Amino acid sequence: MAQLILLRHLKSQWNKENRFTGWTDIPLSKEGVASAKEISEKIADFKIDKVYTSPLIRNKETVSLVLKNLGQEDLPVFTDKALNERNYGKLQGLNKDEMKEKYGEEQVKLWRRSYNAAPPGGESLEEVVKRVVPFYKKYIKEDLKKGKNVLVVASHNSLRALIKYIENISDENIINVELPYAGIRKYEFDESLKVKGAESI
């Protein structure tokens, strides 16, 4: 049975500073780097055949640290911008709490978590789904069909887009779905690629 693990990248410097990151290429924080060993141990029993990630440095650094801790640095890693975080537009680099004070907590939540609302100059989750899901179908799903176990290391909203598709979550309910920094979501599929099991680790 094929397995899929979704791993949100370790805490970045701007995560630590509570700033909107989006497509801005920010490295991991010292705390994020330090947490790599603990996170790697959570998936140590998972046989990985292939890794997918995005070109953003926080995702690539997470892959590198995790594979190093697992002693699997020779695994094939495929990188594509389809798995990038959502573009937060004019909010990128700004403090999240300050934006809540300026626009209201409810509006900021809609920009961050809803399906249709896009931040000023940025992407809605719907737009992220339109680039993430076709990539998943073209590459990751094909690997799963062949019985390969896949690790996807990416950013919050690209992973939320995948979770929405895989678990068939409605446009209305996706606002309630979150994955913490270094959060892990594991899926088991049957031969027809129906989800047999899903759990957060």
Which residues carry out catalysis?
A: 9, 85
Beta bridge partners of 197: 188
10, 182 in Cβ contact below 8 A? yes
CA distance 201 to 195: 17
Q: What's the per-residue H, E or C state across 90-112?
A: HHCCCEHHHHHHHHCHHHHHHHH
CA distance 138 to 2: 16
